[in-house]
Amino acid sequence: MDKYFDLKVIIPGAIGILIGGALFFAGLAGAGAAMSTLGLIFTTMFVMLAAQNAGAISRKLSLSIIMGFFGIGVIVMGVSLEASGELRHSPSLFPLAMVIGVGMFGLGVYRLFTNTND
């Protein structure tokens, strides 16, 4: 139980929740969906780091979850930028974002379900 109250667990968890939450709510307040997505990704990364430092999850599982969240974040950002018309001057960026996002998400899911060692 003491390993969960170690500084290498508490500090990344607190940083992720505080700064990620602030970014998320800044996005909700009017900065846009991209800011909210960055907040969720930031929170996920630091909470996964804290869980990995505590020994609650393995490195493979942590990296797979982060890769999947990054893929979802790229897809959401690409769709939100395309929907708001911010990509009208460079139309090739939307398909590129979709390919990268789906690839990252697929790689995260593939790593999650393969039987390789850490």
Higher-confidence residue of 97 and 6: namely 97
116: which residues sit within 8 A by CB, 6+ positions away?
60
Q: What is the pLDDT of residues 94-114, one digit of tens each?
A: 899 899 999 999 998 898 888
50-61: average pLDDT: 85
Residue extents of the structural domains in the chain: 1-57, 58-118
> For 83, phi and psi rounded to 5 degrees?
-65, -30
Residue type, 100: I
Q: What is the pLDDT of residues 16-33, one digit of tens each?
A: 889 888 888 888 887 677
Q: What is the pLDDT of residues 79-88, one digit of tens each?
A: 888 887 877 8
Its pTM stands at 0.68
